[in-house]
Amino acid sequence: MREKTGLDPVCGVVAARGAHEMAAQVRQALRLTRTIELRLDWLRDERERRRLFAWLQRKRPAAAFVATCRRRAAGGLFVGGIAAERRVLEAAIDAGCGWYDLEIESIEESGGFEPIGEDRARAIVSVHRFDRAVGDPRRLLRRFRAVPGTVWKIAVECRGLREAERLIRLAELPESTAGMIVVPMGRAAQPGRILALGRGSMLTYAAVKESTAPGQPTLETMVREYRARRVDRRTRVYGIIGNKTGHSISPAMHNAAFAASGINAIYLPFPVENLEDFLAVIEPFGIRGFSVTIPHKQAIMARLDQCDRLARRLGAVNTVVVRGRRLYGYNTDYAGVVAALRGRVRLKGCRALLLGAGGAARAGAFALSDSGARVFMLARRAERGRELARAAGGETVTREELRRRSFDLIVNATPAGMAPDRGSPLAAGEINAAAVFDMVYRPTETPLLRLAAQRGAKTISGIEMLVAQGVEQWSLWTGRRAPARRMRRAALEALGRGEETT
């Protein structure tokens, strides 16, 4: 259906209070897409709308523009009535918009669908639901049957991935002869926005600057990092699951590797609180493998069909390969720790203080111990720290001991200091070591590393571990040698972009 319309499947959403800023966003969007939605309801008044229309008529940007003036009843900002809304859309068509979005509520309240702009523009009839109580999304289709010949858009805020998957199935139904746009909204459903394109959704929406819907990613991320317009039914899906995946560098790193290797695959962040919700969509979403981060590295083990010897010994999995309907678990954090420290710290005979007792700490403890280091554990949950120390052949220390003890190496395996957290797991007086390695990689210089540098210690960023373990993951998923240099470059570039915005 997209081929018939000529639309770019990634639609940049332009939204601002003033016409000048809207025009600036249009210019920015044109670098990445040729389909642009103008959220006219965001403009502060009619004067600003007239200014924008005058600019469009004068400049005539080469793009397919979708005019939207959503009323408050449908989740928008426009305070006028249906007649006023139609006048705004008519003026937008006069200014050169070849598409307009009209919510189903306006059509129903006015007694039926009447095209706007005669034959000069095509209609998208939309319904937006933010109440999280939609039930069977197919019921929404009944409201559209009164408007045949238009593109139907259904945007629903979903509470999880299963709801998102049920919603994007609508894109496969032959109900609309003109085409269907399906948008799962909400943080938990964000991957569904991209994957809906592979099911036949005509468009996915991305913010040029201001997000206009829950879970809406940026246009830059959608086009350059996810390469969303390439997603089709044959695209292999990978991702990272955890409760804090929004700032992960892994999507940039793995997607760059897929692009460099010419593989039709995408790697997405899956914000997962409920493991069962994610496991239920592995098959329908076509997920071939995934990374596992906090807090699921240990919990995932009970859901695996098989686990390799190292991961079983560590008691933590950070990588899962999907073969058919079976899940196989691995741990690449172990190799990442060794690679990050190799050539920087002599581990044999090293006195190493390890902070934490979670999944990453388990990989660190065994990697250090196996390399000949003497491991000392300090964990917020003392019993978990003692259990890990026993398993890895280490010993525990108390916080009170730190100021009077010294180590060759300190390793932070806790999330303390991860942006936007500005705290350090240790005070300056507790950092008595020749070298400090922080597994946290965002920011590059964490509060802990900054304090360590001030005390003259060698510092090692978590980006070293991230890239090394990611290279191992990519090879497990694809069976091919990973483009390690390209992955490292992509990770550093993404990290730099992220730190510019913090």
| pLDDT tens per residue, range 204-217 | 999 999 899 888 99
pLDDT band, very low/low/confident/very high, at 91 (cuts 50, 70, 90): very high
Indicate the SS3 state at residue 410. strand
**Cis-peptide into 295, omega within 30 deg:** yes
pLDDT at site 501: 42
pLDDT band, very low/low/confident/very high, at 500 (cuts 50, 70, 90): very low
Helix (H) or strand (E) holding 495: helix 484-501
pLDDT at site 75: 87
Mean per-residue pLDDT for 350-370?
96
pLDDT at site 146: 87
Integer CA distances (angstroms), 80 to 116, 409, 464, in order: 17, 65, 55
Q: Is the pLDDT of residue 1 over 60?
A: no
Sequence-ordered list of residues with C-beta below 8 angstroms from that of 457, at least 6 positions apart, any chain: 410, 431, 433, 434, 435, 436
The mean pLDDT value of the chain amounts to: 94
Share of the chain above pLDDT 70, in %: 97
Q: How many CA atoms lie within 13 A of 221 on its CB side?
A: 27
Q: How far is Cα of residue 452 from the mean position of the Cα atoms in its chain? A: 32
pLDDT at site 132: 59
**Cis-peptide into 61, omega within 30 deg:** no
What residues pair up with 377 in beta bridges, in sequence order?
A: 354, 396
Output phi, psi for 306, to 5 deg: -155, 150
Other beta carbons less than 10 A from residue 214's beta carbon: 16
pLDDT band, very low/low/confident/very high, at 312 (cuts 50, 70, 90): very high
Indicate which residue of 244, 297, 348, 458 is catalytic: 297
What residues pair up with 71 in beta bridges, in sequence order?
A: 78
CA distance 332 to 470: 8
Other beta carbons less than 10 A from residue 312's beta carbon: 15
Between 85 and 174, the higher pLDDT residue: 85
**pTM summary value:** 0.92
Mean per-residue pLDDT for 458-470?
96
Integer CA distances (angstroms), 169 to 110, 165, 265, 297, in order: 30, 6, 20, 30
pLDDT at site 134: 58
Between 288 and 502, the higher pLDDT residue: 288
Mean per-residue pLDDT for 55-76?
95
pLDDT at site 498: 61
Q: Is the pLDDT of residue 2 over 60?
A: no
Beta strands in 97-150 (DSSP E): 99-103, 122-129
Other beta carbons less than 10 A from residue 275's beta carbon: 16
For the segment 37-46, what is each residue's pLDDT rounded down to a tens digit? 999 999 999 9
- The domains found in the chain, sorted by start residue, are 2-231 (3.20.20.70), 250-331+467-497 (3.40.50.10860), 346-461 (3.40.50.720)
Q: Is the pLDDT of residue 352 over 70?
A: yes
CA distance 150 to 496: 43
CA distance 14 to 23: 9
Share of the chain above pLDDT 90, in %: 86
Q: Is the pLDDT of residue 502 over 50?
A: no
Which of 427, 440, 248 is closest to 340 using CA atoms?
440
Other beta carbons less than 10 A from residue 205's beta carbon: 24
Integer CA distances (angstroms), 428 to 448, 456, 501, in order: 8, 11, 27
Q: Is the pLDDT of residue 151 over 90?
A: yes
For the segment 361-420, what is each residue's pLDDT rounded down to a tens digit? 999 999 999 999 999 999 999 999 999 999 999 999 999 999 999 999 999 999 998 888
Mean per-residue pLDDT for 62-69?
97
What residues pair up with 218 in beta bridges, in sequence order?
A: 207
Active site residue 297: yes
pLDDT at site 55: 98
Sequence-ordered list of residues with C-beta below 8 angstroms from that of 259, at least 6 positions apart, any chain: 227
Q: Is the pLDDT of residue 198 over 70?
A: yes
Which of 315, 350, 341, 316 is closest to 458 using CA atoms?
341
